[in-house]
Structure 1
């Protein structure tokens, strides 16, 4: 991944519990239950300190307006109105770089680095290879996939050093993160159901309120996954 692995979460009670849960996940044979506990504690901690200050809803809103414009006005009109017409004939990595630079150019914070990586991975997962492929993606489909990637990459940035510091587990790093990714994806896809929405300006107040509510719903469903766990910290 492209983001920094040197991020140190805050030292409040929720992050202490999250780090403890990750340690137990790595040191026991609890399997998926231990991983669910770690994800749950992470989601609780992230909601307590970071989610409200993240730029995730703003970037998501920009992309959702872009996708809705393509659906309503067509590809050429949308590309020209946003100054993206130079990308119309691009594909693959060239297209990704141009789109990422437009929607998430800022590298100044770890939050924006994670957002950029998540956006790139989302477009790959949705099989975007050329500009025409944006036509087949709805704004809500994009939002759920984007938030799944964002949660996965946040978890990884927070705990990569802890996982890699255990030499006996370093070779299992990809397997551990694959397990985390599958649980996060399955939980959000299963539990977060989006209702019908009117056409919104996703950068306006009503649109941003909607995007923020979905962000919170995704993290909350991960958080309550661990409500049955005893606090061992």
Structure 2
């Protein structure tokens, strides 16, 4: 099983990172993919990858919530890392209009710029959307020339949104939200195209039931798989096989 989106380099794991990884391995999670968020996360992310080189793989990108008026300079620095290190994806990138729309234009600029890096480097992209699915799909469809691929991580949308994402050739990252009683995903998961589904935690955030509200961790990928299996009337093993195969292909692992 692969946790395709985990921030185990975050300070929330500084006291017990080794144990967190061991618990994940004990639950059958063999790889943990690390999305970058800003300039400050690069060093801890790469240190975590170096500590667990057979388990952790890094991505490089600028998260929309960390976009500000210095976006061009920040992107330049982030882009320079591609010459120094091998990354599996451009991420996490996207549009977030939930808290603050001050830098909406800059967010769009950052998103399109990083989509173009993905085209140049032939890498998948990991997309974060919050209160912005229409805007994100609109920009992505304009940029999609047939070479873009990736995932809308932390998917919690409708069947129609899932189809629109799949029609652009993109995957859906299912995480803790899939287990929430009020999340509405029980109505959506049975209708998803399983060839586009991958699993994630987005830890330390959005822990699945029964750990909701506590710190999330990669071992809980198993709980997401269990819920998907229930909604699809499949075994956990089948869900593991399908989603792991999808992730290996998408991220060229």
- How high is the TM-score relative to the length of structure 2? 0.25
More helix by proportion, 1 or 2?
1
Q: Which has the larger radius of gyration?
A: 1
Greater RCO (CA < 8 Å, at least 6 residues apart): 1
More strand by proportion, 1 or 2?
2
